[in-house]
Amino acid sequence: MSHVYGLRAALPSMIERGEGYVLHTASAAGLLTNLGAAPYTVTKHAVVALAEWAAITYGDSGVKFSCLCPMGVKTDMLEAAQGGIAQMLGTTAIEPSAVAEAAVAGIEAEEFLILPHPEVAEMFARKAADFEKWMNGMRRLQSVIDDGDEAAGIERPSRAHRKTSDSRTETKPGRTRQEPR
């Protein structure tokens, strides 16, 4: 909600002046998905959607908008992450200073989507070009990550989809939820 509160506080005076700049910081997860992290993915999708909505709605007011969507960044958050997804992101992680440089360059160019990792643009284009193929590929990748995490003894909620004998999905030992139809 911080992005909503920020817009509510700053946007009216920017519109009144006929100028201003809003940089929303999301994540590549807002364009793609962060496997194994539903709350993170959903909140980052929301940031991208809000930034897009604001840019469309107020783009003719003189206010400029950008949305910064880095992938892996060498921060304490990534360092503390465990399992396959952390290892995957760690291989292409960039320094925070590189993200800052990309943000400044994107603002100077007045780009809406600022992608410090060029591969995110390629992945996003592939997702848009053939969504079903992208989903299937992400399912395969999730399975590989789950298998690696399981071998390392890391328990992930994404394993909770395994069916029990009564056609329900086990979510925690002794607890089930009805499988979506």
| pLDDT (0 to 100) of residue 172 | 43
Lowest mean pLDDT, pick from 30-34, 52-56, 171-175: 171-175
Domain boundaries along the sequence of the chain: 2-155
| pLDDT (0 to 100) of residue 151 | 56
pLDDT band at 181 (very low <50, low <70, confident <90, very high): very low
pLDDT band at 50 (very low <50, low <70, confident <90, very high): very high
| pLDDT (0 to 100) of residue 109 | 98
Which pTM does this prediction carry?
A: 0.78
pLDDT band at 12 (very low <50, low <70, confident <90, very high): very high
pLDDT band at 34 (very low <50, low <70, confident <90, very high): confident
| pLDDT (0 to 100) of residue 155 | 64
pLDDT band at 145 (very low <50, low <70, confident <90, very high): confident
pLDDT digits (tens, 9 = 90+) for 61-108: 999 999 999 998 888 877 777 666 666 676 788 999 999 999 999 999
Q: Quick count: other Cβ atoms within 10 Å of Cβ 24?
A: 22
**CATH, domain range 2-155:** 3.40.50.720
On whether the CB atoms of residues 166 and 178 are closer than 8 A, the answer is no
Q: Quick count: other Cβ atoms within 10 Å of Cβ 17?
A: 11
| pLDDT (0 to 100) of residue 144 | 80
- Cα 22 to Cα 24: distance, rounded to the nearest angstrom: 6
Average pLDDT, the chain: 84
Helix pair 131-151, 84-92: axis angle to 10 deg: 110
- CA 56 to each of CA 8, 11, 63, 130, 132: distance values in angstroms, whole numbers, following the listed order: 16, 14, 11, 25, 28
pLDDT band at 156 (very low <50, low <70, confident <90, very high): low
Three-state secondary structure string covering the chain: CHHHHHHHHHHHHHHHHCCEEEEEECCHHHCCCCCCCHHHHHHHHHHHHHHHHHHHHHHHHCEEEEEECCCCECCHHHHHCCCHHHHHHHHHCECHHHHHHHHHHHHHCCCCEECCCHHHHHHHHHHHHCHHHHHHHHHHHHHHHHHHHHHCCCCCHHHHHCECCCCEEEEECCEEEECCC
| pLDDT (0 to 100) of residue 4 | 96
CA–centroid distance for 154 within its chain: 22
